[in-house]
Amino acid sequence: MATSTGRSLLATIVGWIVVALVVWFLFGWVLAALRAVLRIIVILVVIGALAALYFKLRGDD
């Protein structure tokens, strides 16, 4: 039969593992969301720059 100290220690370890997994997944989701927003901003800036260049070169006719 397990002692209460051993079970308490095991419960603490399992609890910290659960907390670590939750933090790991949430941190991953936050980083993925930030990367997606940054990617969208970069794509919009590149498209805007290409459109501005296109209209500038086109207007010189």
Give pLDDT tens digits for 10-60: 999 999 999 999 999 999 999 999 999 999 999 999 999 999 999 999 886
- C-alpha distances in Å from residue 37, one per residue of 13, 43, 47, 49, 50: 36, 10, 15, 18, 20
CA dist 61 → 51, 56, 58 (Å): 16, 10, 6
Please give the structure tokens belonging to residue 35.
Answer: 């990367």
Asked whether the predicted pLDDT for residue 1 surpasses 50, the reply is no
Return the SS3 of 8: helix
Q: Residue 60's pLDDT is what? A: 67
The SS3 call for residue 59 is coil
Tell me what pLDDT residue 2 has: 56
